[in-house]
């Protein structure tokens, strides 16, 4: 019997088992954790949680209540308001008025914009008003200082009268009063400065609208100065590319919050690390007190894995925050202490991110101690979940997690609670809990998410379901969940109008999708998905490692299928860089395929011990299978049996259906070699259904091939007529297996199948078919290198 | 030297000062004196007051020249004569700080001197306006945006002249200053180096260079003119870079060649001693300096720091009053008064005076740090953090501020958090035991005893100032039940104390003796044990224990034969151990396991 499916290593099948078991080396915090989505969780954990600019995933700018100042832009808005008040009911149509009112709020709250932009906005909603606003600003800017003074004096009139135009407590009223107050606080020279700023603002706006005319009008002196200026610009350009000039307070805040949310949701859209850092440095140069910039700088440095600068920025931020906390009297001592606790906690997070677990633990202890001293339960909750992240390697860490979830619910922290539930589900799935319980838990936490619109947790939850279904070997369900995530509009995107978020969950789901397609032999589709991933998560972005690993694994599997072991060997290096355990495993497989049994055995034994220690059951089973294969390949199938039984027991216990059927295949094969094909056949009947339903194409092919072999072997003792019928059936099965193998380009297997078919046809006396198969075999045999393993050892 | 005396005046008129004698060659002091007098005059004419002051001070320290050797003023050129009226008027305006007015009247002047004064007045006018503007800004973000508007224009004009090679030494200096103010550090350094080549005598250019050089490596790659001025520059920059040994060496050389009377050098030496914590020497030098130059205010803040450290209340009070009489609106005066109040534990007032110093000069680094210390005393940690952060912003290399931040967080009971700050301080002062001890204490609190041991040992090895590292190390060993090492540490500690012969009360001495006595007792070295036990009896807290131990020893000795009666029983330790002492003192690299950002 041709032991064809031993010449092709189990790489194709086993490769995907481990799909869920990777961890990102860069983020070693989650060592030993098993799903990719957990990686997603932890990173979300920190980018969200302790960023004071965000709460529950929503970015809030202007937390620190910075006072309003009069700027030229504000004056323009004031003019607009004034005009709106002056034009009576009839002058502006109702539709226009509504549009104007809608426009007002963003104008009042948004950052400063240029005059021409402002005109455009007003024009879009009410052209007639835009004109009058333009005229008034022109008059004011080209007039005298007294025009501006007069304007501010008149502003307060809108409150007076029996029926005032503006209510004092309305949004507009508050804005007006703020501005009037701010204006009256200005000193003499400040007023003058404001006026010159207004003139400047006006001129800049004019320049854009009428570019050409003023060149001629400009006096000689002015053009001379302009020349000089241009010259200056040329000479200075190199070093001042990014120094596009200072931003106003609101612009700076807007910039920061925008970049921060982009970093979280869609890194590719954010500025590149270098240019973002440049912008931040610029910002800090003009206002060293703008502490949030330090925090963004910290996040930015995390992107490029720069431990030194990120620590520096983080601590600087908290040093600064402590100041603002102390300054704001409303918070008082409380706010100050609070930032201290979170400072320590953030430091722990940072060290955890860089894999300095010991440091992280020390920092965490500190945070816990301070939080306990000041009875801050919320902070303690955060600490607890971090404690879990740090203590994942320990077996009892789920106790921590359970506590954490309970407490979080008690203190009304939905985010933390469902994050805890998700981690718990992960932990439990790994510990072999039944799927229905896990899914129930996830459903419950989903309820929580939808209630609190925690959109990114919803994403994570779906990604996690994908991972869990794959773990259990249900590829259809996994596929469905991945598709669900991809075609779902997340809540946030509805709000922000962004297409989709490039969060880790998406990377995970897409990675799974690629692997699932590759399993089914749809390599074109898989590479399409990978291409898309590459675009969405460029190689230097945070989540790029996820798809890189998928890519490498798919390539590896294909190389193994093709019998190009040297190619596979070169890919192993890449895999090892991304995931060391996976790398070692693959290395062993390559060695095995190259018939270097003793090296492979050594490697596998080492890996087995390591994986047992870190409780990576999936990998343990895969390794056991490989070991068993080693045994029966070295013609000692009897030793393989106990190993296989152990693997079977484990995979049944942990409900890893895919691995279980793989083990059954192996067992059946061992029985076949041991000469009890009937037994093997009955065993196969048990396993064939799940394999055909959910298994990879390669596995399906193998299963069918094995069935055929067993059929032939058991038919040996039958009477001729029955035997012929059985052999016919076997031939049918073989062609099916051949189809499967053809899908994933397993030429060696096809060769074996063809050979087998030829023999069977020969036995049945069908010469024509036999010759066709023999011809095919010959072609394939010439193409393929011969690896020294006996083609046939039993028939 | 090649530059004979007669060449000097002629060359100067071409605005290039003659080839000076090469570095380290101070054989012709008369020549040097002439050059100094010359440059003092030139800088004075151009309104560069500080450089003028420096040169004049140095010239004053050299012996006076006879009449025959005195130089005639440099001849007036045609160009100078043309601009003479405008220059005279503008200089008068300049002197009364009417810069715009001065610039107005100098517009269009061609002579180098007038041109420099023209540009310089414009620069100063811009700076003055900038300072005034800061008060009246429109909003918090604009605060940082106030800048010298004139800088860009000046840069363009000067760079044009620079490319046409029309700038003299002073012009280059001004160009460099403008570049530095625009944060174009690299370009500024190049220009300053050029300026020192063209006009090595101008101390201002050297000083600006000092501020731009951040480490020794940078210094190595500069090609500086090989003149005697370079020696002053090197000495100065070594002091700045905390390379005190080298700096002291340079200054000593300068004194040896004849600048012994220079108050500048004397004060620099005092500062250097202050930096290496040689308090007594620094104090005596400062006292000497005060005698020579009683109305000097510069560096008196450093002096007051020293007095503060030594808690010399009356001296500090005298100094404060004296300075206050001379000029109470000087930064240094405010600092001295602040120190004075701090010593009297009137921390609010002290902080007030440091604030005043900062108002006078916001870039005055020392005051920020000192204010931080005051806030620490007042238990206002957040204000302290703010002050320290400001200090770091002004100068990232300010190890005191880093150390202060560390202390603040330590007080807030965040030992892990403060490690970062102590490490920063340690990086800046790798051989300062105080940071090492602080680091060690933090590690001890975090129960990282191995790291703590490394820190203490290193602190001892680099020369422990407070003499506490060894005791702490010993206690750590004790805790880890490494009795051998603990005993050794105690022995070294006691040897250290006795060798420096200070009468300062050391609390830990008794602990050391007690431990040693018990250690020897356990090792059955009766003679040593009884010697130590007797020492114990000299201290109040260990007297009883000592006596008890003595009794026990006596008892045991009577019972059995002493194994080591022949041994001469040295005072403390077997020779073998003390012989080990020196070689182990080598400084091993401080290889802390933790990452050091």
Sorted by where each begins, the domain ranges of chain A are: 67-204
Q: Please give the CATH number for the structural domain made up of B395-505.
A: 1.25.40.10
Q: For chain A, give the percent of residues with pLDDT over 90.
A: 4
A62 to chain B, closest Cα gap in Å: 14
H or E, element range at B154: helix B150-163
Q: Which residues of B touch A (CB under 8 A)?
A: 136-145, 152-153, 155-156, 159, 184, 382-383, 385-386, 389, 393, 405, 412-417, 420-421, 446, 448, 593-595, 597
Minimum CA–CA partner of B179 in chain A: A236
Cβ–Cβ under 8 Å, residues B175 and B159: yes
Query: How far apart are the C-alpha atoms of B78 and B84, rounded to whole Å?
Result: 10
Q: CB neighbours of A83 closer than 8 A, spacing ≥ 6?
A: A129, A132, A133, A136
| Alpha carbon distances (Å) from A770 to A756, A766, A779, B58, B541 | 10, 6, 14, 111, 106
Residues B348 and B370 sit within 8 Å (Cβ to Cβ): no
Between A177 and A40, name the one with better pLDDT: A177
CA A485, CA A493: separation in Å to the nearest integer?
A: 13
Per-residue pLDDT, A786? 59
DSSP designation for A240: G
Cα end-to-end span (Å), chain B = 52
Could you tell me which chain A residue has the CA closest to the CA of B443? A362
* pTM of this structure: 0.71
**What was the pLDDT predicted at A795?**
26
Q: Confidence band (pLDDT; 50, 70, 90) for A412?
A: confident
Q: Within a 10 A sphere around the Cβ of A364, how many other Cβ atoms?
A: 25
**φ and ψ of A2, to 5 deg:** -70, 125
pLDDT, residue A354, reads 84
Nearest CA-CA partner of B104 in B74, B131, B125:
B125
Q: Please name the residue of chain B whose CA is at the shortest distance from the CA of residue A364.
A: B416
Containing A59, the helix (H) or strand (E) segment is: strand A58-59
The domain limits of chain B are: 395-505, 517-560
pLDDT at residue A605, rounded to an integer: 92
As a whole number, mean pLDDT of residues A557-561 equals 87
Q: What's the CA gap between A591 and A586, in Å, rounded? A: 9
Tokens of B197: 């080549």
Angle at the Cα of B354 from the Cα atoms of B350 and B360, rounded to 5 degrees:
145
Select from A235, A322, A362 the Cβ nearest to the Cβ of B385: A322
**Counting beta carbons within 10 angstroms of the beta carbon of residue B588, is it exposed (0 to 12), middle (13 to 18) or buried (19 or more)?**
exposed
Residue-by-residue DSSP string for B109-130 = --SHHHHHHHHHHHHHHHHHHH
Q: Tens-of-pLDDT digits for all 597 residues of chain B?
A: 333 333 333 334 333 445 566 666 677 888 888 888 888 888 988 889 899 999 999 888 888 888 777 777 777 788 888 888 889 999 999 999 899 999 999 888 888 888 999 999 999 998 888 877 766 655 544 544 556 677 888 888 889 888 988 888 899 999 999 998 888 888 899 999 999 898 888 999 999 888 888 888 888 888 888 888 888 999 999 888 888 888 999 999 888 888 888 889 999 999 999 888 888 899 999 999 999 888 988 889 889 989 998 888 899 999 999 999 998 888 899 999 999 999 998 898 998 898 888 888 877 878 888 888 998 888 888 888 888 888 888 778 788 899 999 998 888 888 888 889 999 899 888 888 888 889 999 998 888 888 888 888 888 888 776 777 888 888 888 888 888 888 888 888 877 777 765 555 556 777 778 788 888 877 777 777 888 887 777 777 777 877 888 888 888 777 765 444 444 444 444 433 333 443 344 445 555 554 444
Beta-strand relationship, A54-55 and A58-59 = antiparallel
How much is the pLDDT for A235? 38
- Helix segments in A161-245, DSSP class H: 171-185, 188-209, 213-217, 220-236
A263 or B566, which is more confident:
A263
ipTM over 0.90: no
* pLDDT number for residue B507: 65
* pLDDT tier, A770 (very low <50, low <70, confident <90, very high otherwise): confident
Q: Which two tokens stand for residue A293?
A: 């910039």
Contact B595 A326 (CB under 8 A): no
Interface test with A, best of B414, B442, B593 (most A CBs within 10 A): B414
Least CB–CB distance from A194: residue in B138, B155, B414? B138
- A417-467 pLDDT, tens digit per residue, is 888 888 888 878 777 777 788 888 888 888 888 887 777 788 888 888 888
Handedness of CA B136, B142, B147, B150 (dihedral sign): negative
Q: Using CB atoms, which residue from B141, B389, B421 is nearest to A248?
A: B141
Helices (H), B501-586: 508-522, 526-536, 543-559, 575-580
Distance of residue A69 Cα from the nearest chain B Cα, in angstroms: 6
pLDDT of residue A67 exceeding 80? no
The listed range with the strongest mean pLDDT (A37-51, A488-502, A577-591, A678-692) is: A577-591
Q: Do B389 and A231 touch (CB under 8 A)?
A: no
In this prediction, residue A224 carries a pLDDT of: 45
Structure tokens at B424: 């920063």
Q: What is the pLDDT of residue B493?
A: 80
> Do residue A362 and residue B446 have CB atoms under 8 angstroms apart?
yes
d(Cα B30, Cα B27) in Å, to the nearest integer?
9
Give, as one character, the DSSP assignment of residue B584: G
Mean of the per-residue pLDDT values of chain A = 75
**Tens digit of pLDDT for each residue in A561-600?**
887 888 888 999 989 988 888 999 999 989 888 888 888 9
Q: How far is B344 from chain A (nearest CA, A)?
A: 28
Instruction: Please name the residue that has the structure tokens 């000795």.
Output: B557
CA distance linking residue B37 with residue B35, whole number of Å: 5
The percentage of residues in chain A with a pLDDT greater than 70, rounded to a whole number, is: 78
CA distances from B227 to A164, A469, B20, B223 (A): 80, 80, 6, 12
Residues near B347 by Cβ (< 8 Å), separated by ≥ 6? B341, B374, B375, B377, B378
Selecting from A252, A316, A356 the residue whose C-beta is nearest the C-beta of B141 gives: A252
Predicted confidence (pLDDT) at residue A183 exceeds the cutoff of 60: yes
pLDDT at A68: 64
Name the closest residue on chain A to residue B155, using Cα atoms. Answer: A232
- HSE at residue B403, side-chain half, CA atoms within 13 A, is 21
Contacts of A85 (CB under 8 A, 6+ apart): A158, A165, A166
CA atoms of A398 and A378, how far apart (whole Å): 20
Section A125-136 average pLDDT: 84
Q: Which of A366, A370, A373 to mutate to test the interface with B (most CBs of B within 10 A)?
A: A366
User: Which DSSP helix (H) or strand (E) runs through A666?
Assistant: helix A657-673
Q: pLDDT tens digits, residue range A78-100?
A: 888 888 877 766 667 788 888 88
Chain B contact probe: residue of A286, A312, A333, A345 with most B CBs at under 10 A: A286
């Amino acid at each position: 019997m041709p032991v064809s499916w031993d010449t092709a290593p189990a790489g194709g099948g086993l490769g995907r088992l481990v799909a869920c078991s990777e961890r990102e080396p860069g983020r070693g915090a989650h060592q030993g954790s098993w799903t990719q989505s957990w990686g997603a969780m932890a990173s979300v954990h920190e980018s969200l949680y302790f960023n004071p600019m965000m709460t529950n995933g929503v970015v809030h700018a202007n937390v620190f209540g910075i006072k309003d100042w009069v700027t030229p832009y504000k004056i323009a808005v004031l003019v607009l308001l004034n005009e709106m008040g002056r034009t009576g009911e009839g002058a502006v149509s109702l539709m226009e008025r509504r549009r104007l009112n809608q426009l007002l709020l963003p104008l009042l709250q948004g950052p400063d914009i240029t005059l021409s932009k402002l005109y455009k906005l007003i024009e879009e909603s009410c052209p007639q008003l835009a004109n009058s606003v333009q005229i008034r600003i022109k008059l004011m800017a080209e007039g005298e200082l007294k025009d501006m003074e007069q304007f501010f004096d008149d502003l307060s009139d809108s409150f007076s009268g029996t029926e005032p135009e503006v209510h004092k407590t309305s949004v507009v009223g508050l804005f007006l009063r703020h501005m009037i107050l701010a204006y009256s606080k200005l000193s003499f020279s400040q007023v003058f400065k404001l006026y010159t700023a207004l003139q400047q603002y006006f001129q800049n706006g004019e320049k854009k609208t009428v570019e050409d005319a003023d060149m001629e009008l400009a006096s000689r002196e002015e053009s001379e100065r302009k020349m000089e200026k241009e010259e200056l610009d040329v000479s200075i350009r190199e070093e001042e590319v990014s120094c596009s000039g200072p931003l106003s307070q609101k612009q700076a805040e807007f910039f920061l919050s925008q970049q921060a949310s982009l970093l979280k949701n869609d890194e590719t859209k954010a500025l590149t690390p270098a240019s973002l850092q440049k912008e931040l440095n610029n910002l800090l140069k003009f206002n060293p007190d703008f502490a949030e910039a330090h925090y963004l700088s910290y996040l930015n440095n995390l992107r490029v894995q720069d431990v030194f600068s990120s620590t520096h920025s983080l601590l600087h931020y908290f040093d600064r925050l402590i100041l603002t906390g102390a300054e704001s009297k409303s918070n008082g001592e409380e706010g100050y202490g609070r930032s201290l606790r979170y400072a320590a906690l953030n430091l722990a997070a940072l060290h955890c991110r860089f894999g300095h677990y010991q440091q992280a633990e020390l920092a965490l202890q500190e945070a816990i101690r301070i939080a306990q001293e000041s009875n801050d339960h919320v902070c303690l909750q955060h600490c607890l979940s971090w404690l879990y992240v740090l203590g994942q390697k320990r077996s009892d860490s789920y106790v921590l997690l359970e506590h954490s979830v309970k407490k979080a619910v008690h203190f009304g922290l939905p985010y933390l609670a469902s994050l805890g539930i998700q981690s718990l589900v992960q932990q439990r799935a790994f510990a072999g809990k039944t799927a229905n319980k896990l899914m129930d838990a996830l459903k419950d936490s989903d309820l929580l998410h939808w209630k609190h619109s925690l959109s990114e947790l919803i994403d994570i939850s779906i990604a996690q379901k994908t991972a869990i279904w794959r773990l259990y070997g249900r590829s259809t369900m996994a596929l469905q969940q991945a598709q669900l995530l991809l075609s779902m509009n997340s809540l946030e995107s509805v709000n922000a109008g962004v297409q989709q978020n490039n969060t880790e969950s998406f990377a995970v789901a897409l990675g799974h999708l690629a692997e699932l397609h590759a399993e089914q032999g749809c390599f074109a589709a898989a590479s399409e998905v990978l291409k898309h991933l590459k675009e969405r998560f460029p190689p230097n972005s945070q989540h790029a490692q996820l798809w890189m690993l998928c890519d490498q694994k798919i390539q590896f599997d294909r190389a193994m299928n093709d019998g190009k072991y040297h190619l596979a060997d070169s890919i192993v290096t890449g895999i090892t860089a991304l995931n060391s355990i996976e790398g070692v495993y693959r290395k062993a497989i390559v060695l095995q395929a190259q018939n270097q049994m003793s090296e492979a055995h050594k490697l596998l034994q080492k890996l087995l011990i390591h994986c047992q220690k870190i409780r990576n059951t999936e990998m343990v089973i895969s390794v056991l299978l490989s070991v068993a294969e080693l045994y029966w390949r070295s013609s000692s199938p009897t030793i393989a049996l106990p190993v296989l039984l152990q693997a079977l027991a484990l995979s049944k216990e942990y409900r890893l259906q895919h691995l279980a059927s793989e083990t059954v295949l192996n067992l059946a094969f061992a029985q076949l070699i041991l000469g009890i094909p009937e037994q093997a056949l009955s065993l196969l009947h048990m396993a064939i259904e799940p394999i055909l339903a959910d298994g990879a194409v390669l596995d399906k092919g193998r299963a069918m091939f094995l069935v055929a072999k067993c059929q032939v072997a058991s038919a040996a003792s039958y009477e001729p007529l029955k035997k012929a019928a059985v052999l016919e059936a076997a031939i049918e099965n073989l062609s099916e297996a051949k189809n499967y193998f053809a899908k994933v380009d397993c030429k060696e297997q096809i060769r074996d199948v063809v050979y087998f078919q030829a023999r069977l046809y020969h036995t049945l006396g069908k010469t024509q078919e036999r010759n066709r198969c023999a011809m095919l075999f010959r072609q394939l045999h010439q193409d393929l290198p011969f690896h020294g393993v006996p083609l046939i050892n039993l028939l | 030297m090649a530059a004979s005396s007669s060449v000097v005046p002629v060359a100067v008129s071409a605005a290039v000062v003659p080839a000076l004698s090469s570095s380290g060659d101070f054989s012709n002091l008369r020549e040097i004196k002439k050059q100094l007098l010359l440059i003092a005059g030139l800088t004075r004419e151009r309104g560069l007051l500080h450089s003028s002051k420096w040169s004049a001070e140095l010239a004053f320290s050299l012996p006076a020249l006879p009449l025959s050797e005195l130089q005639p003023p440099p001849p007036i050129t045609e160009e100078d004569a043309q601009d003479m009226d405008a220059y005279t008027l503008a200089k008068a305006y300049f002197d009364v700080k009417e810069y715009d007015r001065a610039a107005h009247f100098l517009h269009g002047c061609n002579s180098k001197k007038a041109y420099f004064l023209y540009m310089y007045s414009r620069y100063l006018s811009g700076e003055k306006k900038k300072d005034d503007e800061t008060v009246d800004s429109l909003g918090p973000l604009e605060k940082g945006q106030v800048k010298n508007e004139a800088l860009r224009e000046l840069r363009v004009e000067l760079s044009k002249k620079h490319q046409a090679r029309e700038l003299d030494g002073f012009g280059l200096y001004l160009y460099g200053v403008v570049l530095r103010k625009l944060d174009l550090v690299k370009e500024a350094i190049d220009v300053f180096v050029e300026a020192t080549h063209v006009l090595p005598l101008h101390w201002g250019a050297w000083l600006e260079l000092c501020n731009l050089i951040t480490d020794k490596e940078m210094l190595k790659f500069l090609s500086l003119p090989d003149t005697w001025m370079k020696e002053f520059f090197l000495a100065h920059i070594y002091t700045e870079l905390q390379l005190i040994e080298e700096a002291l060496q340079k200054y000593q050389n300068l004194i040896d060649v004849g600048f012994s009377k220079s108050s500048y050098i004397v004060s620099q030496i005092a500062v250097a001693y202050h930096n290496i914590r040689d308090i007594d020497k620094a104090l005596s030098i400062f006292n000497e300096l005060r005698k020579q130059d009683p109305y000097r205010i510069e560096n008196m803040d450093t002096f007051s720091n020293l007095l503060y450290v030594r808690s010399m209340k009356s001296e500090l009070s005298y100094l404060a009053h004296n300075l206050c009489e001379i000029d109470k609106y000087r930064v240094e005066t405010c600092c001295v008064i602040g120190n004075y109040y701090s010593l009297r534990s009137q921390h609010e007032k002290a902080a007030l005076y440091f604030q005043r110093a900062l108002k006078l000069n916001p870039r005055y680094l020392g005051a920020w740090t000192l204010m931080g210390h005051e806030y620490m005393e007042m238990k206002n940690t957040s204000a302290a953090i703010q002050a320290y952060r400001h200090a770091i912003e002004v100068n990232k290399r300010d190890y005191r501020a880093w150390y202060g931040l560390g202390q603040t967080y330590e007080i807030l009971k965040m030992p892990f958090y403060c490690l970062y700050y102590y490490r920063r301080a340690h990086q800046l002062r790798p051989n300062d035991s105080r940071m090492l001890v602080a680091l060690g204490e933090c590690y001890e609190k975090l129960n990282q005893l191995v790291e703590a041991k490394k820190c203490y040992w290193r602190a001892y090895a680099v020369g422990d100032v407070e003499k506490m590292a060894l005791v702490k190390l010993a206690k750590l060993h004790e805790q880890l039940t490494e009795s051998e090492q603990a005993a050794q540490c105690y022995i070294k500690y006691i040897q250290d104390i006795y060798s420096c012969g200070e009468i300062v009360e050391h609390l830990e001495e008794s602990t050391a003796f007690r431990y040693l006595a018990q250690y020897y007792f356990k090792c059955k070295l009766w003679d040593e044990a009884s010697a130590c036990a007797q020492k114990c009896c000299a201290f109040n807290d260990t007297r009883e224990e000592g006596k008890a131990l003595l009794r026990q020893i006596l008892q045991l000795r009577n019972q059995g034969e002493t194994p080591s009666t022949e041994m001469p029983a040295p005072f403390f330790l077997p020779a073998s151990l003390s012989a080990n002492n020196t070689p182990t003192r080598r400084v091993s690299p401080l290889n802390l396991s933790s990452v050091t950002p």
